[in-house]
Structure 1
Amino acid sequence: MGERDPQFITVGSGSSARKIAYLAQPFNAGKPGILWLIGLKSDMVSTKAEALAAWTAEHGLGLTRFDYSGHGRSEGRFEDAILSDWLDESVAVFERLTQGPQILVGSSTGAHLALLLLRRLMQDAPEQAERIRGLVLIAPAWDLTELMWSQFPESARRDIVEAGRWVRPSDYDPNGYVITRRFIEDGRNHLFKGTAFNPGRPVLVLQGAQDRDVPIAHARDLKSVLAGDWVRITEVPDGEHRMSRPQDLKLLYGLIDQLVGTRSA
């Protein structure tokens, strides 16, 4: 098996069992590792993920990345998955595949899942949560389903409610992708607004001012949604949603660098 061939873990049991594909870069016991959480309809070998793999290898940092069910090389259909599934997979990857201190780095939907992963571990496995040194969030689509719902046209909302599904057009996929009522309803079980959740460690945000998918106002609101004054936002005036240009990646690496050696804001 080559180093580029994914490995798999099984998450869930019975009819809900699915094989989740991952790539793990060797970790250095003296440095924190990075857990990369992908964006919606992305995969673990995207432009940003590959650039991050090269940068972490150069700096002796371990990197774990994986595809949610219905994404990339993992099992399942996208339209059958819900946020709860992806959160369970994120927990399994963190607990079973990572060791020592970690920095969670999430892009868009992955940023929401990074926050959900931290909250789940703080509630259910505080000894695991202690391993998380901080979060770096790119274009954070926190409260994902409510953000999506607010952007859908009325006809789309009607289709989701009445027909149970709607094909959302995408700049990244000519076929669009299916959003189901089950996905939206499940997402409402995973909200942050109004909960005053205190992450207890730095949350560093990289946000493009020209982002049409995650408006900059949404990213800024995270400062008032999370308790504890942990959020710091780096705004890029000409940045868009992908944030994968060389200058964007340089900023991303700088934010990670801030967390490599410290747990304080």
Structure 2
Amino acid sequence: MIPVDIVQTFFTKRTQHHIQYLYVKPKDHKPTLCFIPGFQSDFITSKKSHLVYQLCKRHEFGFLSWNHSVLDSETSIFDWYNDGIDLLSEFHIDYIVCASMGLWISLLMSTNMKIRGVLSIGGAIDVTEKWLSEIPSDRKNEIKVYKRPSTYDPSGYYDIPMHFLIESRKACLQIKDNGINYDKAIPIYMLHGQKDVDCSIEDARLIKEFLVRNQQKNVRFYEIEDGDHRLSKPAELRFIEQKIIDMISKN
């Protein structure tokens, strides 16, 4: 767990959100790593965030991470992306390590800044479209909150405002007439569990193909046998750390 007493609060100009963040300055000219958590994830308690933080401490790299603003009836993935852009107007980063939906936000942010590499863990993009497809068409105009089943919440489901799902469309990467065009060429490392039930390995392979099609030739894709969505077992965390080091040393 990252020490709570060193976490600070940042007020975003574009969306008027207060978000928790941590920035540690690198020594000399060493790189800075940014960790972007997934949906409803907390960088302070995340094992993968802690892994990146400890790696940065050992190598005297810079470190940056933050929690997305509160999920409510006014937010969307587009807002979370703008929150990150506001924060990164204050701090320089070199590499992004991201989990789950953090890949979507990482790719969006890379369209606005020069990034030397992205490493995703159980990465997913445009997932709000998948969630919208789960709602019967005749109910989409009736409900204001989608109670989506989830094993990660004690209640057994997430309350996801329909506004969040609809407004996130403007951030989608694969909706050609509505979303954001992605044509960056940066090194991307994708680590994905073969037993991921939240973002299936088949979906991950499609994301890889999407990246390659969009002028992204430098994609390294690793399928982790018996790995689930979180990839937080000790051996998996060691593998993630090694691939982070590989990314930095080769780029």
TM-score, normalised on structure 1?
Answer: 0.83
- Superposed CA RMSD in Å reads 2.1
Does residue 87 of the first structure (1) align with residue 81 of the second (2)? yes
Whole-angstrom distance in 1 between the partners of 2:76 and 2:139: 18
- Contact preservation (8 Å) 1:133, 1:262: no
Q: Which residue of 2 aligns with 1:173?
A: 153
Whole-angstrom distance in 1 between the partners of 2:63 and 2:19: 16
Q: Which residue of 2 aligns with 1:73?
A: none
Which consecutive residues of structure 1, in runs of 5 or more, have no partner in the other structure?
Answer: 71-76, 122-128
- Contact preservation (8 Å) 2:73, 2:163: no
Q: Which residue of 2 aligns with 1:211?
A: 196
Does residue 38 of the first structure (1) align with residue 23 of the second (2)? no
Cα offset, 1:79, TM superposition: 4.6
Cα offset, 1:198, TM superposition: 2.5
Bigger shift: residues 188-197 or 60-69: 188-197
Counterpart pick for 1:241 among 229, 246, 249: 229
Question: Amino acid of the residue matched to residue 86 of structure 1?
Answer: W
Bigger shift: residues 253-262 or 218-227: 253-262
Cα offset, 1:42, TM superposition: 0.7
Structure 1 249/84 Cα, relative in aligned 2: closer, same or farther at 3 Å? same
Residue correspondence of structure 1 range 1-265 to structure 2 within 5 A = 4-12=5-13, 16-45=15-44, 46-70=46-70, 77-96=71-90, 98-99=91-92, 101-119=93-111, 121=112, 129-130=113-114, 132-150=115-133, 152=134, 154=136, 158-175=138-155, 176-193=157-174, 197-226=182-211, 227-228=214-215, 229-263=217-251
Whole-angstrom distance in 1 between the partners of 2:67 and 2:61: 20
- Contact preservation (8 Å) 2:13, 2:86: no
Whole-angstrom distance in 2 between the partners of 1:149 and 1:208: 24
The secondary structure found in structure 2 opposite 1:224 is helix
Q: Which residue of 2 aligns with 1:124?
A: none
The C-alpha deviation readout for 1:154-194, integer Å capped at 9, x for no partner, is 3xx65443222211222111222212221111122122226
Q: What percent identity do the matched residue pairs reach?
A: 26
Whole-angstrom distance in 1 between the partners of 2:229 and 2:10: 30
The C-alpha deviation readout for 1:109-141, integer Å capped at 9, x for no partner, is 11110011112x0xxxxxxx22x1010011111
- Contact preservation (8 Å) 1:35, 1:94: no
TM-score, normalised on structure 2?
Answer: 0.87
Whole-angstrom distance in 2 between the partners of 1:168 and 1:221: 23
